[in-house]
Amino acid sequence: MSLGLQDRRDVEFLVNEVLHVERLFDTERFGHHDWSSFELILDSATKFAHEEILPTNSLGDREGAKFINGEVHTPPVFKRLYKSWREGGFIAVSEDEQYGGIQLPKALTIHAVSVLIGANVAFFNMPGLCHGAGEMVEVAGTPAQKKLFVTKLFSGEWGGTMCITEPHAGSDVGAARTTATLQPDGTWHIKGQKIFITWGEHDLTENIVYPVLARVEGDPAGTGGLSLFLVSKHKLDASGKLGARNGVKCAGIEHKLGLHASPTCTMVFGEDEPAVGELLGEQRAGMKVMFKMMNTARIAVGLQALGLAEAAYRYAHQYAVDRLQGSAMDQFKNPDAPRVAIVKHPDVRRMLLDMRGTVEGLRALLGFCAFQFDLSKALTGSEAEAADELSQLLTPLCKGYASEVGFDAVSTSITVLGGHGFLRDHPLEQYLRDAVIARLYEGTTGIQSLDLIGRKLGRRGGLALMDLSGRIEATIVEARAAGLEALADRVAKMRDDLAEGAMHLAGKGLSGDLVGPLLQATPFMFLMGDTVLSWLHLWMATTATKVSEPTVFHRNKVATARHFIVQAEGRVRARTATLVNDDRAPMDAVFEGE
């Protein structure tokens, strides 16, 4: 029997026994929910993922998206699948009821999303972008815009995407050249080109909504001069009825390493005829609105890393149980000894526990961050503010750190299968190709690291980092009382190393040294990620230790925590030593042609 795509018991342990998400059910915002709401959604998502989505994964990868005579064609099987996805109401379960959602806490929703992603990440990007575009309109739109766009995007009736990147600019968003010109009727004409637009054109919906970053003539250079506009694939009347094709078209799709079934488009606005749009939010506030979507999108990318890592781990786990090769350790000199499952071999067990530690740690990280987001919406005053600050601090880890270690877990799963993992007979080579992009889009790992040290660590005098340190200390005290002194001591050292690294970078910045922090931003993010996941593993192990009648599951939680923390401590110690050593070799090196 297959292990499936997700460890349901671990999900329930995290939300019930560790985070105690049920506290949200006592708030006004989430008081109409209980555990049955969550179980119903997760049951439905799990069934849908295994029975309908998963069979399309390799098929979609091999067929791929196609660009023919100016039109994008997705794998035919996606049309039926998307119809079923919409009918299941999965796009907006965490949104307000007025827009077709059921306002389920994100701390619960993410687990349904994770299993859906693990089944087919290329397909998931499409409804995920519908939600993201709808969220931007919900946050910044006028009442008329909300009425016209939000429900259609959240329901998936219309597709959505976001148009940021330009050929000459890449991650330098402020260098955008796309322009917006005000018309006498109050609309705007958008002119320019955007690249790397995920699901920018397709055949799954009759209309697509494009939030486009553009600059009004006369507005300042840089990101502060950009505004956000809504451009519809088809012109719309006041009631939302579709009219003639707007002046936006797809000029081609990219040929990529992974996500073959997900069209990545070059979109051209206003080339042959005007691309008519309307301002979303205030003029010159485009990046503020876009960042609201991008923060959500970055969490979604972290969920992609988790979904693929868990799917790969569980496949490798099942393979290791089924695959007979080699003899038992005490019989390795006996050529006639019976063959045993490779899960019995120490190195395979080490790799499996490496992957399990990553998967369960990332689930806890994303779950905790989503829980803080829910608390920021459900509570008031200083409690809501503290929860928001903590979720802001952890968001770069949820995207940058998660995408890196998630990719490593998928890579390890291939090694478990050996040469067989390299073959298309198994899904792992596709998982690896599909996992690469999580490290790149919505801001590369380097950009997440710069966001962490440049914007998040020092917010409001570092209150969020102090809050995090206090929470880690509370867990350390609790773990020691539960008999986990050795693990608690290791996490305490990592917490101290994290503080040392943060203070060192802060000191460099205050002294006017920008190069040092920029060089060490990414190593620091890994240092912080390993420390935070070690804390979460210690928290879970402490919870499992307190159970009056522990099962194999609870004993496994402790073993997984022990393995992860021991490995992470060595990495944190090494990175801290390197960081404070102020190595400038990358700046001193000479690269040919520079």
Just list the catalytic residues. 442
- DSSP string covering 342-364: GGGSHHHHHHHHHHHHHHHHHHH
Q: Tokens 């994290």 label which residue?
A: 498
Helices (H), 181-327: 286-322
Residue 96 token pair: 């307000």
Closest by Cα among 386, 414, 353 to 568: 353
Closest by Cα among 87, 84, 86, 106 to 95: 106
Q: How far apart are CA 136 and CA 373, in angstroms?
A: 17
Q: Which helix (H) or strand (E) holds 160?
A: strand 159-160
- What is the sign, positive or negative, of the torsion defined by CA atoms of 74, 75, 76, 81? negative
With a CB cutoff of 8 Å and minimum separation 6, the contacts of 415 are 351, 421
- DSSP string covering 362-381: HHHHHHHHHHHHHHHHHS-H
Closest by Cα among 34, 16, 15 to 26: 34
Please, what is the Cα angle at 429 between 427 and 433, to 5 degrees?
115
Do 181 and 229 contact (CB within 8 A), yes or no?
no
Do 338 and 23 contact (CB within 8 A), yes or no?
no
Supply φ then ψ for residue 87, to 5 degrees. Answer: -65, -30
Residue 470 token pair: 């206090």
Q: How far apart are CA 557 and CA 87, in angstroms?
A: 37
Closest by Cα among 412, 117, 430, 400 to 260: 430
* Burial letters 385-413, b for 16+ CB under 10 A, else e: ebbbbbbbbbbbbbbbbbbbbbbbbbbbb
Do 322 and 262 contact (CB within 8 A), yes or no?
no
- What Å distances lie between residue 288 and 164, 212, 291, 343, 394, CA to CA? 13, 13, 5, 50, 19
Do 135 and 68 contact (CB within 8 A), yes or no?
no
With a CB cutoff of 8 Å and minimum separation 6, the contacts of 82 are 123, 126, 127, 156, 204, 205
Residue 447 token pair: 């950009």
What is the identity of the amino acid at 249?
K
Do 144 and 239 contact (CB within 8 A), yes or no?
no
Helix (H, G, I), strand (E, B) or coil at 72: strand
Do 193 and 241 contact (CB within 8 A), yes or no?
no
